[in-house]
Structures are given as structure tokens and as C-alpha cells.
Chain A
């Protein structure tokens, strides 16, 4: 029996990550200074961990409602209202998921018929394209440019809309570029969307991590809330990546369809993670989200250090206003992104991620995370300076 032939076409046709090999080398190398990680270096605050331990001691080890613990949904509803000015009914407009990743998958599976097109900004997070294709949809890359600070512009958006376009994925603040969409930027694309019936999947996992201005959710733009599935989670803002806890909020019919899939495939998010997330929110309501604000202040200082560092060694680097990534250009070196990253790793043991991992528009760029200590960032910059001198 040829087992390979048994794999579904949809799965087979998604290319394996081309840089997987490079990742494996980096992950196994000794003495590597990394700027390669897409997760906070902060450990989950102790009060949150402690709440989880206590829940286990009390024996809270059972299933929850498919939608998630009602108390948690109420807290998420208040949180979204308080922090981003959007209101969702905790009864039937919010579902708690296994990470924002599951929410993305559910959203796509709930809306896509085979052949439906989904617009995805390029470059952006690696999972959107495969998830669309696993649903039999067609992923359409919307090329974003450094001149626009990797925003989606209305002109650009129009170019890619066809009668088959079902949805737009809107991942801002953006991984890997650190770009954001301001209220004005969102209004401009909302004007285009209003002429259509395209849905929006707004992945706002980095919403808390913006600098010098607050994040605006597209659900805040008149007429956009109804067509939008808002996705967020606890990984980035509360340093809870390994807990795998996210959520989606949206129109009752959209969320209802997502819950239908979720209840048969996942049943519910793990109760211990839900209890911990509830503690994270409750503490935040008490102290005005002091630990979030603290992390944002730390990231902001590191952001200044890394942007300044790259500019000092002569690399072009636009100032990212969100997430914890910078996306400097390496075009001057004449190398491809992958070649640059491989040689940098071999030569100086610095791990960064080639822009092309996030789509073809990432060619000529590298993604550097600043979820690291300032000493770590300074050391990495020093080594990159050495590398640039030698090539």
C-alpha cells in the first residue's frame, strides 16, 4: 500500500515550510543568540499560574460549556468593551478556543466553500494560507509594501477583489512586520469593503502591544462589526502562549457556526487554562491592567534600542508601531533573505527569520523579535555588525 497516496490532496498540495530545515539547524545549534522567537520572554504572571494550581487542587478537571466558562466569556466581553470599545454579548457572540490559532481555523471552516477566495496580506503570519487551503479555499496574497509600512491600502485591496472573494484576513498589529493599521487606514479600507459583502477575519492577537498610540479594532469602524469575526487571545498580552487560550467574537450566526465545529472537534478549551485566563482578566480589571502596561513599557524600550541599533549599523529599518518585531531590509547586501539568515547563523550564530517565511513580499527583509532582554539585543546587533563587515 502506498501510504503517501492516502494523504488528502488538500494537505499534500500545501507545500512544507521551505525553511523548516533552517529552523531545525538553529534550534539545535549551541551558543546561539536568537531574535527568532514569536512569543514573549515574560513568564505568565504568578497570580495567574497560582490560580491554575488552586483550580487543580479544588479538582476542577472537567469539561466546560462548548462556548467556554460563562464567567470567562463575561470577563472577555467586559475586557473588549473596556479596552477596545466594542460590545459583544457573552451569551452567544463569544467563543473560547484553543489559542487564537483554533479561532482562525474555525472562522475559515465556518465560512468557506470550495473555491472561495480569501485575501491575505503578504507578508503575514504563516498559518493563514495553509488554513485556507485545508478548507478548499483559495488563498490570495495581497502584496504589501514597505513604502506603505506594510499596511493594506484601498487601491491595493481593490486590485485583488473578485466575485469569489469571501473574506479578508486582517492581521494587525502585524507579525512579522510590526506594522499597524490606524483608524484612518481602517476607514479607508472600510470604504472599499462596504461596496462588497466581504467578511473580515480580524486577528488582533497583538492588540495590546502598540506603541505611542492605542490599537483601533476594525469593529469600531461604522458598519464593520457585523461582517467581522474578531479574534484575540491571551498569549501575547498576558504572556500565556503555552496555555493555548484564545477567543473569537462576532455576529451570533457566525459564532454559532464556529461553535458547531468546535463542539464536535474540540469540545472545549482546557478548563485550567480558562480559569487562569479569568484570573488574568480579573486582576487586570482591579489594577488597570498594570502587568500588561508594564510589559508594553519594556517592549517599547527594547523597540527603541533595536531600531536604533539597526540604523546605527546602516540597515534600513522602518519604525514598527506594534507587536514585538522589527523588519529591517537586507536588500543592500544583495543576498536573498534565506541566504542572509543562513550565513548569519553559520557565521555569527545569530538566529533571525527570513522575511520569505511570511510570504514572497518578505523577500529582502528579515524578521527580528525584540521579546528579549536588552543585553541580548545589543549582543545580537554587535554580531550582525561583524557579519556585515565580513561580507
Chain B
């Protein structure tokens, strides 16, 4: 049942416990209890909204930054990752295999703002060896959702 609840909520987090109880043919109290539990255990981390900001012409830029770092004794990459992810400008941080170590996603109002953030906050950190900044030009799909040209119902209204 846990998986089924999570599948429903990750598809649409506004589904109410009442609706979920009908969908899964389960007891309403059990559903409420289970969701509470998942929230408390941080399995459900947060209920988010996917926004297509381009539609409201908000000025913003996203950059992916490849960061090479020197891992620290005893702490590995975790300490430097934490130094980086604490900045509110940083939206996500991943430890990567391959040519560089950390993939950092940064959001800002302008390219200049992001560039200054990299130059003044990121590149100057002791363990950071180098950075390469890539600006995002267009978002096509976020978290499994296609932003434009969503597929319409092309079916006939009635088909026997």
C-alpha cells in the first residue's frame, strides 16, 4: 500500500486521503495514518509545485556548474558539498563520477548575478580546484513533466 500511496501522491500531491482511500479501496483512517507516518519519516519530503516560470516572464537564469574539488581527509566530499549546498542560490548538488566531482545547480535573476556568485562564493572555497559554468537556455522537461506541447486527448468522443 505504501508504494501505491506514494505513486498517487508523486503524480498529484493534492489528492486527498478521502480520494486515495476510494482509489485503493482502503480504510480512510489507515490512509491518513500511513501518510502521516511517511511524512514523519521524511519519506515524503515535501509537497512541491512544478512551475513553468517562463510563462509568467519572470527574469531568472539557471546554471549547471561543474565543480572539481579536493576531497578532505576523513570528510571526503561531504564537507565541501555542505559548504556549497548551504547557499540558498544553490538548488541542487550531486556528487558525480567522471571528469568532475560536484554538479551544482544555481538559480539567479541574471547571468551576471550567477557569474558573480560563482566567482565570489564558489571558486574561492579552499577545496575548489576549478569550476565550469553552463547556462540553461530552455527547459523541456522537469521531473518527468513535459513543459510545453503536452499531449492532448485526440480520441473521438464516442467509440463503441
Contact = CB atoms under 8 A, between A and B. Distances in A.
A351 interface: yes
A22 B160 CA distance: 12
A263 interface: no
Given A301-B8, A357-B160, A37 B155 contact: yes
Interface in B42-78: none
Find the residue from B8, B24, B159 having the highest chain A CB count within 10 A.
B159
Please classify how large the interface on chain B is, using the bins under 10, 10 to 19, 20 to 34, 35 or more: 10 to 19
B142 to A, nearest CB: 17
Contact of A308 (B7, B8, B22, B156): B22
Contacts of B151: 43
A38 B159 contact: yes
A358 interface: yes
Find the residue from A22, A37, A305, A351 having the highest chain B CB count within 10 A.
A37
Nearest to A352: B158
B25 interface: yes
A353 B157 contact: no
B155 A353 contact: no
A37 B22 contact: no
B158 A27 contact: yes
Contacts of A38: 159-160
A162 B25 CA distance: 45
Contacts of A23: 157-158
Nearest to A369: B159
Interface stretch (A28-36, A109-117, A272-280): A28-36
Contacts of A302: 23
A324 to B, nearest CB: 12
B155 A41 contact: yes
B126 interface: no
Interface of A: 22-23, 26-27, 29, 32, 34, 36-39, 41, 43, 125-126, 297, 301-302, 304-305, 308, 351, 353, 357-358, 374
Given A37-B157, A305-B23, 20 more contacts: A26-B158, A34-B157, A34-B158, A36-B158, A37-B155, A37-B158, A37-B159, A38-B159, A38-B160, A39-B155, A43-B151, A297-B4, A301-B8, A301-B23, A301-B24, A304-B24, A304-B25, A305-B19, A357-B160, A374-B23
26 contacts: A22-B158, A27-B156, A27-B157, A32-B157, A34-B157, A34-B158, A36-B158, A36-B159, A37-B155, A38-B159, A38-B160, A39-B155, A39-B159, A41-B153, A126-B160, A301-B8, A301-B23, A302-B23, A304-B24, A305-B19, A305-B23, A351-B157, A351-B158, A353-B160, A357-B160, A374-B19
